[in-house]
Structure 1
Amino acid sequence: MPHGAFSGSLTTSPKFDFAVDMGHPFLNRTVDGFINIGAVGACKVAAEETFECLHRGDVSKHKVERALKKMCKEGAYWGTIAGVYVGVEYGIEKIGGHRDWKNAMVGGAVTGALASAVNKKHRQNVVKNAITGGAIATAAEFLSHLA
């Protein structure tokens, strides 16, 4: 019986390495998480705003300024969430003395709970967001070991 196969590779380029040394591993990881995920949040907004400008067919100085403010706000928000998660996970790792998926689960749960507790609109969702944060972090930990 005939069969076919496909083989190839996917590379991520260009690669940009950026490191900030704060003098302590806890601070280094927290700042790294803030910068990496904050950049992702800002890029998400940039893509959405670019699509909107192209879709509507107009660009103005006001829209560009609004987009930049939105990029900074989203980048700071998601960077803060990531920094809290990485910091909590690192603290749990140091207290427990080992790194495993349970650290990610607890870190995600604490971060989800904190993120919703400080948000006045979604304060009633603390438990739901704690469960969601723990589930996402645990899934990400398991997926990172597959590659």
Structure 2
Amino acid sequence: MMNTSSSNLETRPALLQELRSFEKGGFFDFGHPLLNRIAESFLKAAGIGAIQAVSREAYFTATEGLDSSGGGIPPEISGNKKHRFPDLRGENNTKSLEAMVKHTGKESLQWGLAAGVYSGLTYGLTEARGAHDWKNSAVAGAITGVALALTSEGSSHEQIVQGAITGAAISTAANILSGIF
């Protein structure tokens, strides 16, 4: 006689192995490691970007009540530029929800773009040069910084140059520090 609890225990490792295989191989296969890496990085970062955008807006919405009642909101947080989503205070809940979805989608796209471009460039440069070093990180970071600066509203020449310098510096530092820790 087969016990159902022992049968569940026997299938549990198979389920865990199946879930672990997603971590190793990804959720999809486009036939080339470069495309797989770009798509996986894009999706993961876009999800993180959406969570970040919604949680930031939830924080500001929650603190807005404290600010109006005189509760201890620091002056650097309170102010006119508190909300990143200015259209969120719509005429009704439907307008506010539409604004939230629109702005969260845009932010998700920016995060996904950054991760996909950076991941694809580092992989491509590593394959082309035959080495994974700080130079690949610097070039990929600079191009990713430029791509992010171009997606922001009203990007100027100075913002694009700053994005390139910042992206190169951060990714180079991350590459160098990853070898230390």
- Could you tell me the TM-score, scaled by structure 1's length? 0.75
Return the match for 1:136 from 158, 170, 176: 170
Offset at 1:26?
0.6
Question: Aligned to 1:99, what secondary structure does the other structure show?
Answer: coil
Question: Aligned to 2:154, what secondary structure does the other structure show?
Answer: helix
Question: Aligned to 1:83, what secondary structure does the other structure show?
Answer: helix
The answer as to 2:161 corresponding to 1:127 is yes
Letter in 2 for 1:136: I
Tell me what 1:90 maps to: 123
Residue ranges of structure 1 left out of the alignment (5+ in a row): 1-14
Change (3 A) 1:49 1:106: same
- Could you tell me the TM-score, scaled by structure 2's length? 0.62
Q: Deviations over 1:21-48 (max 9, x none)?
A: 2211110111111112111211111111
Offset at 1:94?
1.0
The answer as to 2:179 corresponding to 1:145 is yes
Tell me what 1:81 maps to: 114
Offset at 1:130?
1.1
The answer as to 2:36 corresponding to 1:28 is yes
Q: Deviations over 1:37-85 (max 9, x none)?
A: 1112111111112113323459934333322222111001111122111
Return the match for 2:50 from 42, 50, 72: 42
Over the aligned positions, Cα root-mean-square deviation in angstroms equals: 2.7
User: Percent identity among equivalent residues?
Assistant: 36
Offset at 1:146?
4.0
The answer as to 2:96 corresponding to 1:63 is yes
Tell me what 2:135 maps to: 102
Question: Aligned to 2:31, what secondary structure does the other structure show?
Answer: coil
Residue ranges of structure 2 left out of the alignment (5+ in a row): 1-19, 66-88
Tell me what 1:8 maps to: none
